[in-house]
């Protein structure tokens, strides 16, 4: 009889020994993210039916109007991760600073810190378009048994132990890596379990989808403008198809499956672009590189950038290797 695909829980048990520093903590950590994602998914799926869509009268540290689901998702992930006493600290895009997990005797003995964008693309909520959660996990650098420090969060992306996203789309999928490839688990809502649906995801080395907010074209640097015009020229497999969902998780997930490039460049309006290095670019870069693609800021590999502040923004050019190579050629010119 053909063996059914494993659930996420079974996968974590079966692969426990391949996780870095296999002590069971990482498995428990990924399991707590799985639970929080189910809770957020439940609310996202009924957003149109209950009073949970729309904005609250608060603005987050990014200066962005918070949506009700933003606040809810942040609370769910923060409480689930802190209450399980698995981590020593947490940083969220929605929080001004990092959160030290209370309970000196226990939490400070934990080895991992988590950085999270609880609900990426939240402006899509009210129009029933896809949204996502992005997470990034590091091993602390400060001594175990002491309170977590900012340095624990300001680590370059190449030190990530794990990273992943949950895409709340036409179905809900959790995609993550622990440095041994990228695997996708689709939620079976009837059973409440995530089933391995996309084992060992690989991004095609080339593709014909480019993803950029062309409404900002006038503000892009010359090299970016030239690359966009290159994408639109009739030659070979071009013009490419333009696809832009307005939620990083959805655009990146599509590009990993089909091949493509995503660009959020710097501009005259935003000299470092919009996307956050720690909560969005590093985890996505880890996943894309593990899937065989590339992620740069147009000049440097994203995962080699040494962060200087928690909410730092960087330009983000990522996806199929040959497409990122070509885009960087144009960006070198001007
Ligand atoms: P713009 C969502 O706010 C987000 O952080 C990403 O998910 C998305 O790719 C990007 O911003 C969209 O930004 O400026 O094109 O609306």
Residue 66 binned pLDDT confidence (cut-offs 50, 70, 90): confident
Q: How many Cβ atoms sit within 10 Å of the Cβ of residue 190?
A: 6
The answer to whether the CB of 135 falls within 8 A of the CB of 114 is yes
CA gap 120, 135 in Å, rounded: 11
Q: pLDDT higher for 142 or 57?
A: 142
Phi first, then psi, for residue 34 (nearest 5°) are -60, -45
Residue 56 binned pLDDT confidence (cut-offs 50, 70, 90): confident
- Do 30 and 66 have their domain in common? yes
Give the closest residue (by CA) to ligand 1 atom 1.
246
- Do 183 and 259 have their domain in common? no
248 lines ligand 1 (CB under 6 A): yes
Give the closest residue (by CA) to ligand 1 atom 16.
246
- Residue 110's CATH number: 3.30.540.10
User: Which of the listed residues 274, 277, 278, 295 should we mutate to test ligand 1's pocket, taking the one with most ligand atoms within 8 A of CB?
Assistant: 274
- Do 225 and 186 have their domain in common? no
274 lines ligand 1 (CB under 6 A): yes
121 lines ligand 1 (CB under 6 A): yes
User: Which of the listed residues 264, 273, 277 should we mutate to test ligand 1's pocket, taking the one with most ligand atoms within 8 A of CB?
Assistant: 264
Please tell me the distance between residue 246's alpha carbon and the centre of ligand 1 in angstroms.
5
Give the closest residue (by CA) to ligand 1 atom 12.
246
Domain count, the chain: 2
Give the closest residue (by CA) to ligand 1 atom 4.
121
Range of the domain at 186: 8-198
Nearest atom within ligand 1 for CA of residue 262: 9
- Do 288 and 161 have their domain in common? no
165-211 tens-digit pLDDT:
999 999 999 999 999 999 999 999 999 999 999 999 999 999 999 99
- Do 82 and 170 have their domain in common? yes
In-domain check, residue 59? yes
pLDDT over threshold 80, residue 47:
no
- Do 126 and 35 have their domain in common? yes
- Counting beta carbons within 10 angstroms of the beta carbon of residue 1, is it exposed (0 to 12), middle (13 to 18) or buried (19 or more)? exposed
8-27 tens-digit pLDDT:
999 998 988 888 776 788 88
Instruction: Choose the final residue of a domain: 163, 198, 233.
Output: 198
Nearest atom within ligand 1 for CA of residue 249: 7
- Residue 326's CATH number: 3.40.190.80
Nearest atom within ligand 1 for CA of residue 275: 5
Instruction: Choose the final residue of a domain: 175, 198, 221.
Output: 198
Per-residue pLDDT, averaged over 82-102, amounts to 88
Per-residue pLDDT, averaged over 243-266, amounts to 98
Q: Please state, in angstroms and as integers, the Cα–Cα distance from residue 248 to each residue in 104, 115, 243, 333, following that order.
A: 36, 16, 12, 27
What's the pLDDT score for residue 276?
Answer: 97
Give the closest residue (by CA) to ligand 1 atom 3.
121
Find the largest Cα–Cα distance for the chain. 64
What's the pLDDT score for residue 106?
Answer: 67
Residue with structure tokens 């005259």? 268
269-291 tens-digit pLDDT:
999 999 999 999 999 999 999 99
- Do 39 and 86 have their domain in common? yes
- Do 154 and 250 have their domain in common? no
User: Which of the listed residues 73, 117, 120 should we mutate to test ligand 1's pocket, taking the one with most ligand atoms within 8 A of CB?
Assistant: 120
In-domain check, residue 306? yes
- The string over 196-209, giving b where at least 16 C-beta atoms fall within 10 Å of a residue's C-beta and e elsewhere, is bbeeebebbebbbb
What's the pLDDT score for residue 103?
Answer: 66
pTM: 0.95
247 lines ligand 1 (CB under 6 A): yes
Q: Which of 137, 134, 146, 18 is nearest to 73 (CA)?
A: 134
- Do 184 and 225 have their domain in common? no
């Amino acid at each position: 009889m053909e063996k059914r695909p494993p659930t996420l829980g079974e996968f974590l048990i079966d692969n426990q020994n391949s996780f870095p520093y296999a002590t069971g903590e990482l498995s428990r950590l990924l399991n707590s993210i799985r639970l929080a994602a189910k809770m957020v998914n439940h609310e996202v799926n009924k957003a149109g039916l209950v009073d949970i869509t729309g904005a609250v009268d608060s603005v987050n540290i990014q200066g962005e109007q918070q949506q009700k689901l933003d606040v809810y998702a942040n609370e769910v992930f923060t409480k689930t991760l802190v209450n399980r006493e698995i981590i020593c600290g947490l940083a969220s895009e929605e929080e001004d600073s990092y959160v030290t997990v209370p309970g000196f005797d226990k939490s400070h003995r934990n080895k991992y810190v988590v950085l999270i964008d609880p609900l990426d693309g939240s402006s899509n909520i009210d129009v029933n378009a896809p949204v996502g959660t992005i997470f990034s996990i590091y091993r602390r650098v400060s001594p175990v048994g002491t309170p977590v420090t900012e340095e624990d969060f300001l680590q370059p992306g190449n030190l990530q132990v794990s990273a992943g996203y949950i895409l709340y789309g036409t179905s809900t999928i959790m995609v993550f890596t622990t440095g041994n490839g990228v695997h996708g688990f689709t939620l079976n809502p009837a059973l409440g379990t995530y089933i391995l649906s996309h084992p060992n995801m690989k991004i095609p080395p080339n593709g014909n989808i480019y993803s950029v907010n062309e409404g900002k074209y006038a503000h892009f640097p010359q090299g970016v403008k030239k690359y966009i015009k290159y994408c639109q020229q009739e030659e070979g497999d071009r013009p490419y198809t333009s696809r832009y969902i307005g939620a990083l998780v959805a655009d990146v997930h599509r590009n990993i499956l089909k091949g493509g490039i995503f660009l959020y460049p710097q501009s005259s309006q935003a000299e470092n672009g919009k996307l956050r290095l720690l909560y969005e670019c590093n985890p996505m870069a880890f996943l894309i590189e593990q899937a065989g693609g590339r992620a740069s800021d147009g000049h440097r590999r994203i995962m080699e950038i040494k962060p200087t502040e928690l909410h730092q923004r960087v330009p983000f050019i990522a996806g199929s290797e040959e497409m990122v190579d070509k885009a960087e050629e144009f960006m070198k010119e001007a």
